[in-house]
Amino acid sequence: MKTTKGAGGETHQQTTDRDRTMTSAQGVPMSDDQNSLRAGARGPGLLEDQMMRDKIFHFDHERIPERVVHARGFGAKGYFELTDPIPDLSCADIFQRKGEKTDVFVRFSTVAGNKGSFDLARDTRGFAVKFYTKEGNWDLVGNNIPVFFIQDAIKFPDLIHSVKPAPDRGFPQAQSAHDNFWDFISLMPESMHHTMWAMSDRGIPRSFRTMEGFGVHTFRLVDAEGNWSFVKFHWKPRQGLQSVVWNEALKINGADPDYHRRDMWRAMTEGQPPIWDLGIQVFDQDFADRFDFDVLDATKIIPEEEVPVRIIGHMVLDTPVDNFFQETEQVAFCTQNIVRGLDFTEDPLLQGRNFSYLDTQTKRLGGPNFTHIPVNAPRCPMHHFQQDGHMAMHNPSGRANYEPNSWGEDGGPRENPEIGYRSARKDGTEAPVRLRAESFADHYSQPRQFYISQTEVEQMHIADAFTFELSKCEREDIRARVVSHLRNIDEGLAETVAGNLGLEMPEAAEPTVAPRDLKPSDPLSIFKNGPDSFAGRVLGLYVADGADQGLVEALQDAGEAEGAFVTVIAEKVGGATLSGGRELAGQETFAGGPSILYDAVAFVFPEDDGDRLAGLKPLADALSDAWAHGKVIGYTAGAKPLFDGVGLAEPDGPGAVALGSTDAQGFITECRALRHWNR
């Protein structure tokens, strides 16, 4: 390659290699990519300049409509491995052979914000999985919350309009803390169950890697004879459940709006590929008839105590996308994409989704041929007579494009009753009505169960979340209406929230069906299902010049041996000179690496510089945030003045670990705990 300067000082990097030659989209080689064609050096541009037109035209069309919901997403690739085949339950090819791997594409997302919004909004997260099975693509388009806001798809546009920016002012972005949302919610009591989950720490996950995923609806598994059972799908993260606290979320959104994407990228590229177990809850019509709630109602869970989750395989996400737009942006999930051995149920939400997803992809991707884009294309043989339309890449070959035909072997594909998709036997259909079944009417029992299944700290977070959100509502009647629903869930919660808002306790909302007391269920809590190691989490190691080299190296080694990431934060990004003379490179500076970005922190400062370091504001913020957020904090004697400076004269509280030169392993072991809320 040759580099030359043009007449205006611009750089021309030129090649004589045909394979590296830049061309237009038509394949015509470009001689100059710096200057448009002009009538003389200072003359006007020429309309004739086809090379510039080709380039700018394409640029002008780079954007496609963002998803109307779940616009902000992050994709990852990997595989699903079957460990416990279920041929007795389903003839789906993917569920037949132990140890077989199937490629997957996953897209995680937030719901409300636009494509450029921040990762740590309080929101439901999308958890959509495309399985490229040998008998076609199966899309399990789920969320990180096992229930949904509404029972009938016809209410979806209203729900989404209410949470998105108000149409007159165009804000607030990526938030539910406003009148329109709570107005709608408080008029739709069926949404209270989902709302309890969203106001819990599930709404602000630490990472995509530490969230559960749920198929939400009840589906059907179908065996080779056409017999079916009901099924609910669960993804359980091996990383344990983890979330941040609201104060941290607010700060992280400023410090690193890409917090979740960056975390996922790092885990996949630095040897910590996340793993989820796939679990199924299988039950029959008898159970459905006996169960307290309607299994077709997507606002209800089936507690694991009643139908245990059976793990049948796991998914490993080990590969980032090659190109964000090509894969993450263009991936088209459709709930209607199921394979032989699976079937829908009559859940009115699922039925509505089956229309919506196909429709939205046609608009977003510009036509019916989006299955020709590699991320959406099946990886199994595919033959049909569908043809033409925008951007058709694979029209049928040969003379016949219809069926039946008389062209014999040359006549193209034919139906196959043996492996072809068949709907499961369903009972006779009823006459169409616009009616909500009475079995969908209990809106409070499961929210109540969710609440009493939480630890005390989690309950406090729920009360804080309701308080924050409702304090952003300008209309008092809306605040009061939400609290009137909380009274049917838990009187204590309602009182706390009303007290925090300075609100007179409203009458309880009139329930259609009186709520029942269900038993608490441990799987509903995050804290009861946390991680058992520090692997995959991040230690923020704050070091200054002259820091104890032996200790710094021991912390790095112990952290790495645990499978944790260690980020060095130094005064200058060039790094710090340690006590033994080693130059340690920094990844962040004190000002650019606030402690909210790390799961645990250690301050390794030399004693003789402690007073000066204690005067640095970013370090004081790092310590006081880490303390307030319950994180494990390691510190050397040189960091004591920092504690004094923020008013923590007694640093030896729970999770505060004094570090001598030999204490690295003990500190990392301490980091295995989630947070220390009892400070």
Q: Please give the positions annotated as active site.
A: 70, 143
Q: Which amino acid is at 81?
A: E
CB of 176 to ligand HDE, least distance (A): 16
Q: Are 459 and 451 in contact (CB under 8 A)?
A: yes
Please select the residue that binds ligand HDE; options are 51, 72, 102, 109, rule is CB under 6 A: 109
* Residue with the two structure tokens 């003789």: 608
Closest CA relative to residue 111, chosen from 168, 169, 173: 173
Q: Does 153 bind ligand HDE (CB under 6 A)?
A: yes
**133, 143, 496, 549: residue in contact with ligand HDE (rule CB under 6 A):** 143
- What part of residues 440-469 is at the interface with ligand HDE (CB under 6 A)? none
What Å distances lie between residue 472 and 175, 463, 478, 629, CA to CA?
10, 15, 11, 23
Binding mask 208-237 for ligand HDE (x = CB under 6 A): --------x---------------------
Site string for ligand HDE, 343-382 (x = CB under 6 A): ------x--xx--xx--xx---------------------
Identify which of residues 120 and 564 has a Cβ nearer to ligand HDE in the complex. Answer: 120
Rounded CA separation 443/215 (Å): 20
Helix runs in 138-284, H state only: 156-163, 179-187, 192-199, 246-255, 259-269
| CA max distance for the chain | 92
Tell me if 333 contacts ligand HDE by CB under 6 A. yes
Q: 73 vs 341, which CB is nearer to ligand HDE?
A: 73
Judged by CB, which is closer to ligand HDE: 293, or 527? 293
Q: Name the minimum Å distance from CB 298 to ligand HDE.
A: 6
* Tokens (6 digits) for 453: 């299944």
Beta-sheet strands, E only, within 310-402: 310-320, 342-343
Looking up tokens 């395989």 gives 313
Helix, strand, or coil (residue 536): coil
CA distance 102 to 435: 41
Toward ligand HDE, which CB reaches closer, 334 or 554?
334
Q: How far is CA 470 from CA 172, 480, 483, 494, in A?
A: 14, 9, 9, 12
Angle formed by the axes of helices 179-187 and 476-489, nearest 10°:
40
User: What is the crossing angle of helices 192-199 and 456-471, to 10°?
Assistant: 110
Site for ligand HDE, residues 490 to 529, rule: CB under 6 A: none
Q: How far is the CB of 357 from ligand HDE (least distance, A)?
A: 4
Q: Which residues pair with 319 in a beta bridge?
A: 77
643 lies in the site for ligand HDE, by CB under 6 A: no
* Residue 77 interacting with ligand HDE (CB under 6 A): no
When binding is defined by CB under 6 A, the residue of 107, 130, 194, 487 that contacts ligand HDE is 107
Binding of residue 73 to ligand HDE (CB under 6 A): yes
| 51, 69, 92, 584: which one binds ligand HDE (CB under 6 A) | 69
- The minimum distance between CB 333 and ligand HDE, in angstroms, equals 4
Rounded least distance, CB 393 to ligand HDE, Å? 21
Q: Can you tell me which of 22, 28, 39, 68 binds ligand HDE, judged by CB under 6 A?
A: 68
94 in Cβ contact with 115 (< 8 Å)? no
> How far apart are CB 146 and ligand HDE at their closest, in Å?
9
**Cβ distance 29 to 20 under 8 Å?**
no
- Name which of residues 180 to 199 contact ligand HDE (CB under 6 A): none
CB count within 10 Å of CB 247 equals: 14
269-298 binders of ligand HDE (CB under 6 A): 298
Rounded to 10 degrees, the C-alpha dihedral 237/241/247/251 comes to -20
Q: Mapping DSSP to helix (H, G, I), strand (E, B) and coil, where does residue 186 land?
A: helix
Please state the closest distance from residue 203 (CB atom) to ligand HDE, in A: 15
# chain residues binding ligand HDE, by CB under 6 A: 26
Which single residue brings its beta carbon nearest to ligand HDE? 126
Query: Where in 375-414 is the site for ligand HDE (CB under 6 A)?
Result: none
List the alpha helices (DSSP H) in 347-453.
348-364, 445-452
Closest alpha carbon to 319 in 270, 274, 276, 268? 268
The only residue of 141, 302, 321, 597 in contact with ligand HDE, by rule CB under 6 A: 141
Min CB(4)–ligand HDE separation in Å: 46
Contacts to ligand HDE by CB under 6 A: 67-70, 73, 107, 109, 126, 128, 141-143, 148, 153, 156, 216, 298, 331, 333, 349, 352-353, 356-357, 360-361
